[in-house]
Amino acid sequence: MPSTYVEAIREGIREEMERDANVFLLGEDIGIYGGAFKVTAGMLEQFGERRVVDTPISESAIVGAAIGASFMGLRPVAEIQFADFISCGFDQIVNYAAKCRYRWNAPAPIVVRAPCGGGIHGGPFHSQQNEAWFTHTPGLKVVLPATARDAKGLIKSAIRDNDPVIFFEHKALYRRVKDELPEGEYTVPIGKANVFREGKHISVITYSAMVHVAAEAAGRMEKEGVSVEIIDLRTLTPLDEETILASVRKTSKAIVLHEANLTGGFGGEIAARITEKAFEDLDGPVLRLAAPDTPVPYCPPLEEAYLPNADKLVEKLRWLARY
């Protein structure tokens, strides 16, 4: 039976807790309530309150406690209830966890889970896609799975990693995407992109929920005779530059798609690398599609207008195909 994105993450966490007694969970309402999005439902009953810890509403305390526990040999998985509020623990993440290995070779094997993204009418304080804050910080790994299969494999890899991992889970995917998960043990490597769809004419480089937007647009373009390749990055840091460049060199045209607002978004980094390292292979400009530079609207029609979608991507694909 296919598993949803949220079930896949839960299964991955449960398997790691069963495998390694040093793995434990902490966060707001993750125990008795099972988490705001029910990712940790059933965990308290199975593993007990010493390994599933309900915390005060203090992101800095959650992250700080996780870092301290990691120094004592534990492997904490910390939930930030909404990625927007990760800013309250920002100093602990970027000025402490990210630098521990560099400063004194002390691994900080923490995972910070952060439900992110729009499309659920959460308004400006519960809908941000803020991965670019962390890709700019050396020492952090930033993971954004787009499918249930990858969500399970990547959460397992993140828990086993000896560096801090920010694990962004798109809220709109929790119950909207499903996969048949492989039987038995499997992981998905951090730092390796996936060719989500093979194509010949244009590459779309994207991640998280926008992979599914790209897939819808690609299906429409196929009817117009334009073959679109989709690269699902899965991980932003470390970035799989090799897969990106191989795709662009094959198609000679590229669009970078992400949900976060345009200015300072990670798409600019990808576009710059393509221009620097594959310029002579290009037959057109590297385009970007992202959200406008405004807070995420609460009003559903405004949010729909704000978010990148298949219609907007098809427009850019048609323009680039004609170039």
- Which long-range CB contacts under 8 A does 276-282 form with residues at least 24 apart? 277/241, 277/245, 278/245, 278/248, 278/249, 281/248, 281/249, 281/252, 282/248, 282/252, 282/253, 282/254
Round to whole Å and give the CA distance between 130 and 108. 22
**DSSP 8-state class, residue 180:** -
Q: Same CATH topology for 3-179 and 194-322?
A: yes
Q: Residue 126 catalytic?
A: yes
- Structure-token pair, residue 51: 């390994």
Lookup result for tokens 């990712």: 39
Q: What is the pLDDT of residue 139?
A: 97
Angle between helix axes 310-322 and 210-222 (nearest 10 degrees) is 50
Answer yes or no: CATH 3.40.50.970 is held by domain 3-179: yes
**Which amino acid is residue 298, in one-letter code?**
Y
Q: What is the pLDDT of residue 176?
A: 95
Of these residues, 121, 126, 136, 170, which one is catalytic? 126
Locate the domains of the chain by residue range: 3-179, 194-322
Answer yes or no: CATH 3.40.50.920 is held by domain 194-322: yes
Round to whole Å and give the CA distance between 46 and 62. 22
**DSSP 8-state class, residue 294:** S
Half-sphere exposure of 79 (CA within 13 A, CB side): 27
Round to whole Å and give the CA distance between 71 and 137. 21
**Which amino acid is residue 156, in one-letter code?**
K
pLDDT tens, N- to C-terminus, the chain (323 residues): 899 999 999 999 999 999 999 999 999 999 999 999 999 999 999 999 999 999 999 999 999 999 999 999 999 999 999 999 999 999 999 999 999 999 999 999 999 999 999 999 999 999 999 999 999 999 999 999 999 999 999 999 999 999 999 999 999 999 999 999 999 999 999 999 999 999 999 999 999 999 999 999 999 999 999 999 999 999 999 999 999 999 999 999 999 999 999 999 999 999 999 999 999 999 999 999 999 999 999 999 999 999 999 999 999 999 999 99
**Which helix or strand (DSSP H or E) is residue 228 part of?**
strand 228-232
Question: Can the peptide bond before residue 107 be classed as cis, meaning omega within 30 degrees of 0?
Answer: no
Q: Where are the beta strands (DSSP E) in 83-148?
A: 111-116, 141-143
Q: How much helix, strand and coil, in percent to the nearest 5, is found in the chain?
A: 40, 20, 40
